Structures are given as structure tokens and as C-alpha cells.
Structure 1
């Protein structure tokens, strides 16, 4: 793999916790993303761990393992090679013990966010902006870079712009994406902003989020090496997997965790069903 050259300068801003500031980033550091489909400058990144710039470059291309564990509902726990723990769509119900260092949230329902996160959680990243407009996150914590792409949410019969975020975690050369509580199909601008995703976490309830036809269309287009269903409720798994077509393998696991690395991704795109999903 070609090594990407990442440049950065340290900024002395600190991330404000919820609820005071809802963790919106305000830094002015540009960090090229290894996952973007086209070269572009990202919004400012905040250094959360006071890392030196030299720590940014090697980890981006090393084939160190990342562990992903299904905690419940739409919450996956991601553990990076440096030991950073991240909980997705965190409401304090799943993945709270011990507290992760980073949580992401979306507010479609109370099972995807909390207004009272444990103070032990260092970084709380909401997928919406309380002050209006899109939420913008560009955060480096040890060896993982976290950014977001906003989408709209259906609330009270109308679409609310930029109220959901697709969070993307770039670590050890991998690009890991969580679609959140996605309510609509993506357009070309979304795909361009998301870029490549090696691992995709996708809701498959088929009703509260986007339809299964729409969700499978997105998953097929992203063509990630590993697809992790979530937010299933009572929907038969076959209702999603059957729409994905013969180009995707099925892998049912007995445990709740999967370990992935850049050099051990499956040769064919694979839908991995972890225990509990």
C-alpha cells in the first residue's frame, strides 16, 4: 500500500464536553484523509491527546489489529491498537462499563444518545449541532482520526437537515464507518465525502431507518470488505442479506467481537453477523 503523507500543526484548543458546548470542533489544522475518494482539505482537527505530528504518520499505514465488538442496538465498541475505546450511537445503555474514551451519538431516538454522559468519558461527539447547521468533527485521539458526514433526519413528518452523522474512524490504515440512524439515500456528494470504507456498520431494521432496499443499495455501492449489521429489531437478517446479492459472503460468528487489520480483510466483501445482532 502506498504510504500517505499526512501533515499537521498542533493547535492548543481543547474539546468542550456536553452539555456546555456539545463538542463542536473549532480548530484550524488541515489533515488529509486516507479514506476520501477525492483529495480535499478537511475541517479543522483538534488534537485530543497532545500527540506530536510524528505520531500521525506511521499508524495510518500499519497493519495493526482493530477489535470491534457488538454491544447492542446500534452501539459497536471499537478498540484501536493504541487502546483507545470508542462507542458508537451511545446512549449509556450499551458499552458504558468501563466508560469508553470517545462516544459518538445521534438523536433520532433516545436509544442513540444521552444528555448525561459519564464525566469519565473524555470526548462526546454528537452527530447534530444544537446551534443549527451541520455538526463538524475532526478529532485525533492517539492513533485514531474521527470525522463525520452529516445527513438529514425524519422528525415529526418532515426532514431535518444535518441532524444525523455518519461517523468515520481512520485507524491503522483502516477506514471504518457507522451510518448512524440514516433516513435517506445518499447522493454523490455524500459518497465523495465518505470515501473508501473497509468496514461498514449498517442499520437493517427496514422501517425506523431507511428501507432495506435503500440500505442495501448504499452497502453495495460502498462495497466494504466487512459489513456489520446493527439496529435490527425483529427484521429477519435474510431480508437484508438477500438484497445484497451473490457478490457478498455471509459469515456468522459465535462471539460478539471481530478483529480486523489492513492485511487480513476478506478477499470478497463479507457480511459478518456477530452474536447478539
Structure 2
């Protein structure tokens, strides 16, 4: 599988037979055209963690994809997806509403996309995501978990690979403060970003690895 970060919470999971997009983002410019990073992509499946701008721009993706919204179990093109109910805040959704965590079984791998999770994992949520090989985790704080909370969630899940998301690289290519804090919380040195991450079940690292991607 090839994993690319398109920015914000949007990833492309490119498998043997399926192309899946998570949380397609809304174009920033005032234009009817889709953002360039998405307009050239045809997907088989789109997952939407919550119905907020920046996460639900399905019209920006081509290919007539199946759209998955909300908790439940879905099987599409031999991809098994489990949507796990959660919240966008630590007040049971009172401030920012609900969020769906997605556990995606694809090409013998288990990818977990936390969406805009706003709280530590509860027991039933942890049970649902415990088999994750790759964890896509927000780190920016604000309306989702902070870098500190993200590190705590990672220690709960214990995935093979962690990819941070939901932060914004700065124009001068300096690392954002949230990313530096995340590195400190994880106890790792600064990591050079890469354009994509290719992984198979057999190539998963024996010890947990943090992977940093460059947004496309």
C-alpha cells in the first residue's frame, strides 16, 4: 500500500485494487473548481469523519466513489471499514459534535484514521482500533487532540507506524510548533518528511516508527 498525505486530515490510501481518500478538504480559494491536489484523483471509496468544511468535500474527488459516513460496518470492493463512534471534543460532542474513527482493513493491513478526535479513547473505542498497523493521528489541538493527548492515544493503541496529521506546515518550511511538541512527546528526534510511505504486512517495522509525510 502507498500512503500519501494530501493535507489537513486527507490521505490517499492506494492499494492493489482500491484507491481510498479520507476527509477530502474544501478548497481555500473562492472558486467552484476542486483543489488541484484532489481534482486529478479518482477514488473508489471516500471516508468522512465528520460533516465540517475541510473534511467533507466529496465533490472534489472524481471516479464516482462510494462515500462512507458515520459508524457502522461497510464492505466495499473487498475493503472492510468499521466506523467507530466518538466525539470532536471532550464534552460528548456538546461543543463540536460527533466524530467517526475509521478502521480500514485493506491489502492485509489495518489503517486507523482518527478523524478530528477530541478526547482519549474509551475502552470500547480502544478495543475497536487495537489491531491498527498504521495510525493516522491529529496533533494540532484546538478542536482535536493536542500533541500530548496524541502521544497518550498512541501508547494506548501501540501501532507499528504513526503518521501525524491535522497540522499545517509553514510557508518558510520551518517545522510547526505542534510538530516539534509531538516529537518531544514521542521522544524522537526530528524526522525528515517524505512524499509517500509504502508499506506491506511483511514490511511493518518491529518497533513503532513515526513517519512524517510532505503534503501534496
* TM-score normalized by the length of structure 1: 0.64
**In 2, distance between residues paired with 1:71 and 1:115?**
14
5+ long unaligned stretches in structure 1: 1-65, 128-134
Shift of 1:195: 2.5
Partner of 2:21: 87
- Tell me, yes or no, if the aligned pair for 2:43 and 2:62 is still in contact at 8 Å: no
**In 2, distance between residues paired with 1:181 and 1:119?**
24
**In 1, distance between residues paired with 2:213 and 2:60?**
26
Partner of 2:80: 145
Q: Larger % of helix: which?
A: 2
**In 2, distance between residues paired with 1:118 and 1:245?**
37
**In 1, distance between residues paired with 2:61 and 2:7?**
18
Does residue 16 of structure 2 align to residue 74 of structure 1?
no
Shift of 1:118: 5.3
Change in CA separation of 1:115 and 1:200 when aligned onto 2, cut-off 3 Å: closer
Number of aligned positions between the proteins: 198
Change in CA separation of 1:245 and 1:108 when aligned onto 2, cut-off 3 Å: farther
Q: How do 1:208-227 and structure 2 match up within 5 A?
A: 208-227=143-162
Shift of 1:98: 2.2
Q: Deviation per CA, 1:64-119: give whole Å up to 9, x if none.
A: xx11111111111001122x111101235443422211111133630011374657
Which of 206, 210, 215 is the aligned partner of 1:271? Answer: 210
Q: Deviation per CA, 1:167-202: give whole Å up to 9, x if none.
A: 111122211000001111111111112231100001
Shift of 1:146: 1.3
Shift of 1:217: 0.2
Partner of 2:101: 166
Which of 125, 134, 142 is the aligned partner of 2:68? Answer: 125
Partner of 1:181: 116
5+ long unaligned stretches in structure 2: 27-34, 169-175
- Tell me, yes or no, if the aligned pair for 1:80 and 1:143 is still in contact at 8 Å: no
Partner of 1:11: none
- Tell me, yes or no, if the aligned pair for 1:75 and 1:95 is still in contact at 8 Å: no
Partner of 2:53: 110
3-state SS in 2 of match to 1:121: coil
- Tell me, yes or no, if the aligned pair for 2:49 and 2:101 is still in contact at 8 Å: no
Partner of 1:18: none
- Tell me, yes or no, if the aligned pair for 1:80 and 1:144 is still in contact at 8 Å: no
Change in CA separation of 1:96 and 1:165 when aligned onto 2, cut-off 3 Å: farther
* TM-score normalized by the length of structure 2: 0.81
**In 1, distance between residues paired with 2:202 and 2:149?**
30
3-state SS in 1 of match to 2:205: coil
